[in-house]
Amino acid sequence: MSDSLKRTRILTECAIMIALSCVLSVITIFKLPQGGSITAFCQVPIIVLSYRRGLKWGAFSGFVLSVFQLISGLSAFSYVKTIPAYIAVALLDYLVAFTVLGFGGMFRKKIKNQALSIGIGAGIVSLARLLCHFLSGVTVWADYADGFKNVWMYSLAYNGSYMGVETAITVLGVVLLSTVLDFSSDNLIRKRK
Taking residues 36-40, what's their average pLDDT?
A: 90
Measured in Å, how far apart are the chain's first and last C-alpha atoms?
A: 28
Taking residues 102-109, what's their average pLDDT?
A: 96
The pLDDT value recorded for residue 78 is: 77
Taking residues 21-48, what's their average pLDDT?
A: 92
CA 28/CA 10 separation, integer angstroms: 28
Least confident of 34-38, 64-68, 80-84, 141-145: 141-145
> pLDDT-based confidence at 193, cuts 50/70/90?
low
pTM of this structure: 0.92
CB contact at 8 A, 129 and 91: no
| Share of residues in the chain with pLDDT > 70 (%) | 99
**What is the CATH T-level fold of the domain 3-184, as seen in this structure?**
Arp2/3 complex 21 kDa subunit ARPC3 (1.10.1760)
b/e burial code for range 53-68 (CB count within 10 A of at least 16 → b)? bbbebbbbbbbbbbeb
* Residue range 129-187, pLDDT digits in tens: 999 999 999 988 777 777 778 889 889 999 999 999 999 999 999 999 999 999 988 88
